[in-house]
Amino acid sequence: MGYASAGIASHRLPADDYAKNFSDLTPPFTPHEAVVAADRCYFCFDAPCVQACPTHIDIPLFIRQITTGNADGAAETILDANIMGGMCARVCPVEQLCEEACVREHAEGKPVRIGSLQRYATDALMAKDQGQPFGRQPATGRRVAVVGAGPAGLSCAHRLAMLGHDVTIFDAKPKPGGLNEYGIATYKTTNDFAQREVDFILSIGGITIRHDMALRRDVTLAQLQADHDAVFLGLGLAGFNSLSGFPPFAEVTDAVPFIEALRQAPDKAAVPVGRKVVVIGGGMTAVDAAVQAKKLGAEEVTIAYRRGPEHMKASAFEQDLAKTSGVTIRHWVTPTGFEGREGRLVAASFTHAPPGLNGSAEPLSIPADMVLAAIGQTFDGDPLDGAMTLSGGRILVDAERRTSVPGLWAGGDCVFGGQDLTVAAVEDGKQAALSIDRALRDAQPSSQAAE
């Protein structure tokens, strides 16, 4: 990633600072801390936390198992519902899901720390390096293709393997994991956890991954349908919304490649960052990019968002994290262009129009030698060649994640209604796998899988 600006540089901080800055955001529980936290659970009947979890983990059960010293049993309870329970414990916005629904939260403003307890149990099991607690059912002889090795694809593949089917995953990247590997802040998933979790998932057997295989470029949908009994699409969002209509500057780029470069860099100090960074957007990607820019040594980092804090997709926790990390958040600002000097970026221009200005707006210039756009990702439907029905620019599926094409399922961010959450993608993959299994078992042995 090359930049023209002299203000963008690497190795801004003392070497020791990088290890500290990119260490675990939330230290894991000790066994004593886990038991103390678990003892706060009321073990509710028809627990609201379970209803709030997209994968419907039996949260009271796994917390009770922790209180009795059965961390392995707790992990199995979690992973049976969500095979990526370890990652979700790290990246799920629990403050908007299970912990927000917790009875303790409503009564005391202090929920049971469900996410930390989930991490405690799953980490304890994975640390034993004894594989997973699930085995495969007898082989069915059926073959399923999964396109995409992100959360939806891996979840689907794992459940299908459990059910006795053989799965081949086709992924465009050189490493599996999808956004878990390439798109999440480094301080949220330390010690190469994303790949360790993938290895854990694949240890069930029956799953083969073919890397650097992009749909249409290297394999077509028609080929996959001809060679397999069913196909699942977990394509994710490959495109970016762009800041169009503005003069181009090399120092203005998308936030996702910035996060990916940092995630994949063996030496974080070598990743260049500006002195004055502006991030445009209001979601989790914007916060991840802004906080990491600060941790790389940027002196001033500003998130510029076009509406108020209550409208930001980033949770209140994430917004507070940005602020405590030294990031300034400016609301009600809309980008209008960029200012340059001698071909180099010097500022980002906005209009500032908070409520109460009666429709008038004030010009605002924020000094910047680097701008990261985090204004959303888009689905690239070109590789589908118009084969199926889309809605809102994404794949339309039913409750079982079936597309309009018999024998073809889809899930995750690529489908209409996708929630841009790892945990929701995992649930899509799981439900699609169960639907595929029903379809394959109902079909005649010689027939192709159908609805």
Where residue 297 sits, what CATH number does that domain have? 3.50.50.60
pLDDT grade for 216, boundaries at 50, 70 and 90: very high
Burial class (CB in 10 A: 0-12, 13-18, 19+), 247: exposed
Q: Domain range holding 47?
A: 39-127
The last residue of one of the domains, among 127, 154, 175, is 127
What letter does residue 50 receive in the DSSP assignment? H
Q: Is residue 31 part of a domain?
A: no
Overall pTM surpassing 0.85 (yes/no): yes
Q: How many domains does the chain have?
A: 3
Say yes or no to pLDDT of 359 above 90. Answer: no
> In CATH, what number is assigned to the domain containing residue 77?
1.10.1060.10
Is residue 447 situated within a structural domain? no
The amino acid at 413: D
pLDDT band at 443 (very low <50, low <70, confident <90, very high): confident
For the chain, the residue count is 451
**pLDDT bracket for residue 131 (50, 70, 90):** confident
- Percent of the chain at pLDDT > 70 equals 96
Task: For residues 122 and 127, give the distance between their C-alpha atoms in angstroms, rounded to a whole number.
Answer: 9
- Residues 243, 245, 248, 249, CA torsion sign: negative
- 202 and 84 together in one domain: no
- Judgement on whether residues 285 and 385 belong to the same structural domain of the protein: no
Res. 348: pLDDT tops 50:
yes
Task: Evaluate whether residue 448 is within a structural domain.
Answer: no
The residue among 376, 407, 431 that closes a domain is 376
Q: Say whether both 189 and 246 belong to one domain.
A: no
Rounded distance, CA 325 to CA 271, Å?
A: 19
164 with 215, same domain: the answer is yes
- Identify whether residues 245 and 362 lie together within a single domain: yes
